[in-house]
Amino acid sequence: MDLTLSPQEEAFRDELRGWLDEHHPGAEPEGDEAGFEFRRSWQKTLHQAGWAGVSWPKEYGGRGASLIEQAIYNEEVTRAKAPAAVNVLGLAMGGPTVIAHGSEEQRKRYLEPILSAEEIWCQGFSEPESGSDLASLKTKAERHGDEWVVTGQKVWTTLAHHAKWCMLVARTDPDAPKHQGLTYFLMDMDQDAVQVRPLAQITGEAEFNELFLEEARIPHANIVGGEGNGWPVAITTLMHERATLAFGLQIQVKIALGELMEKARSTTVNGGSAAEDEIIRDRLAQLYIESEVLRLNAYRGLTHTMKHGVPGPEGSLGKWQWADVNQALTELALDIAGPQALLRSDDWTYRFLRARANSIEGGTTEILKNIVAERVLGLPRLR
* Residues forming the active site: 241
Under 8 Å between Cβ of 222 and 186: yes
Q: How far is the CB of 98 from ligand FAD (least distance, A)?
A: 17
Q: How far is the CB of 207 from ligand FAD (least distance, A)?
A: 7
For ligand FAD, which is the closer residue by CB, 173 or 210? Answer: 210
What residues contact residue 76 under an 8 Å CB cut-off, 6+ apart? 13, 16, 17, 20
Of 35, 50, 113, 131, which lies in the binding site for ligand FAD, with binding defined by CB under 6 A? 131
Q: Is the dihedral of CA 113, 36, 165, 130 positive or negative?
A: positive
Of 20, 82, 196, 357, which lies in the binding site for ligand FAD, with binding defined by CB under 6 A? 357
Q: How far is the CB of 33 from ligand FAD (least distance, A)?
A: 19
Rule CB under 6 A: which of 153-182 touch ligand FAD? 156-158
208 touches ligand FAD (CB under 6 A) = yes
Nearest to 177 by CA among 132, 236, 230: 230
Report angle CA 83, 234, 119 to the nearest 5 degrees: 40
Stretch that binds ligand FAD, among 120-128, 172-180, 300-308, 312-320 (CB under 6 A): 120-128
For ligand FAD, which is the closer residue by CB, 93 or 246? Answer: 93
Amino acid code (one letter) for 219: P
- Provide the mask over 262-301, with x wherever binding to ligand FAD is found by CB under 6 A and - wherever it is not: ----------------------------------------
125 touches ligand FAD (CB under 6 A) = yes
Under 8 Å between Cβ of 90 and 119: yes
Stretch that binds ligand FAD, among 13-21, 288-296, 343-351, 354-362 (CB under 6 A): 354-362
For ligand FAD, which is the closer residue by CB, 209 or 250? Answer: 209
**Whole-angstrom Cα distance, residue 359 to residue 326?**
10
Query: Site size for ligand FAD, by CB under 6 A?
Result: 19
What residues contact residue 320 under an 8 Å CB cut-off, 6+ apart? 359, 365, 368, 369, 372
Under 8 Å between Cβ of 245 and 92: yes
Q: How far is the CB of 380 from ligand FAD (least distance, A)?
A: 14
Of 149, 360, 372, 373, which lies in the binding site for ligand FAD, with binding defined by CB under 6 A? 360
What residues contact residue 173 under an 8 Å CB cut-off, 6+ apart? 180, 181, 228
Q: How many residues does the chain have?
A: 383
123 touches ligand FAD (CB under 6 A) = yes
- Provide the mask over 25-54, with x wherever binding to ligand FAD is found by CB under 6 A and - wherever it is not: ------------------------------
**Whole-angstrom Cα distance, residue 377 to residue 383?**
16
For ligand FAD, which is the closer residue by CB, 102 or 362? Answer: 362
Q: How far is the CB of 312 from ligand FAD (least distance, A)?
A: 20
Amino acid code (one letter) for 21: D
**Whole-angstrom Cα distance, residue 18 to residue 214?**
50
Stretch that binds ligand FAD, among 64-72, 91-99, 251-259, 356-364 (CB under 6 A): 356-364
Determine the residue with CB nearest ligand FAD: 131
C-alpha distances in Å from residue 229, one per residue of 129, 144, 147, 274: 22, 19, 17, 55
370 touches ligand FAD (CB under 6 A) = yes
**H helices within 49-91, ranges in order?**
67-79, 88-89
**Whole-angstrom Cα distance, residue 73 to residue 77?**
6
Residues at the interface with ligand FAD (CB under 6 A): 122-126, 131-132, 156-158, 208, 357, 360-361, 363-364, 366-367, 370
